[in-house]
């Protein structure tokens, strides 16, 4: 009987550990939109242009912010908090944001809440990117990748 007790306890411990790790809340690495971002007081006298670029180049989608960026290359990133690929893309974009060319704005768009946008651009799954022209028409749509793919597609759009 003891030969069955150790495997049973081991299985129970593994299951409990897995369940505990699944209940850990996800952290969102997204920065606040530019209009709500405040610079810390200890940053006074320091160059904060990269902070300004970060909030302007990658921001949470809102219709007002999207419309305000009409003169820029706009990319909608349909992100879901529960999606591991989305988390990876978000981390890649945030980490490499300094490489984002001026005039390109990525909008982190909530896949679960922005149903009208999903319908408008025929987005059927999370981790989809949509490059949009000044009139709001989709120029290109792709799934997967990170900042490297966004920059390649944005560069191709500028040549159009």
The residue that leads in pLDDT, 156 or 53, is 156
pLDDT band at 56, cuts 50/70/90? confident
pLDDT category of residue 86 using cuts at 50, 70 and 90: very high
Pairwise pLDDT comparison (39 vs 9), residue with the higher score: 9
Is residue 50's pLDDT more than 50? no
Please write the tens of the pLDDT for every residue from 114-152.
999 999 999 999 999 999 998 999 999 999 999 999 999
pLDDT at 16: 46
- Three-state SS for the chain is CHHHHHHHHHHHHHHHHHHHHHCCCCCCCCCCCCCCCCCCHHHCCCCCHHHHHHHHHEEECCHHHHHHCCCCEEEEEEECCCCHHHHHHHHHHHHCHHHCCCCEEEEEEECCCCHHHHHHCCCCCCCEEEEECCCCCEEEEEECCCHHHHHHHHHHHHHC
Domains and CATH numbers, the chain: 26-40+48-159 (3.40.30.10)
Of residues 55 and 34, the one with the higher pLDDT is 55
């Amino acid at each position: 009987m003891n030969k069955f007790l150790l495997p049973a306890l081991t299985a129970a411990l593994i299951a409990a550990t897995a369940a505990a790790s699944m209940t850990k809340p996800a952290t969102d690495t997204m920065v606040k939109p530019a209009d709500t971002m405040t610079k810390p007081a200890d940053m006074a006298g320091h160059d904060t242009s990269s902070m300004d670029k970060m909030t302007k180049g990658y921001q949470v989608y809102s219709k007002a912010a999207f419309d305000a960026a009409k003169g820029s290359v706009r990319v909608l990133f349909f992100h879901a908090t529960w999606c591991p690929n989305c988390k990876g893309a978000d981390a890649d974009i945030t980490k490499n944001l300094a490489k984002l060319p001026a005039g390109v704005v990525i909008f982190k768009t909530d896949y679960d809440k922005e149903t009208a946008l999903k319908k408008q651009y025929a987005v059927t799954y999370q981790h989809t990117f949509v490059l949009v022209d000044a009139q709001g028409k989709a120029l290109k749509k792709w799934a997967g990748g990170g900042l490297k793919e966004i920059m390649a597609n944005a560069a191709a759009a500028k040549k159009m």
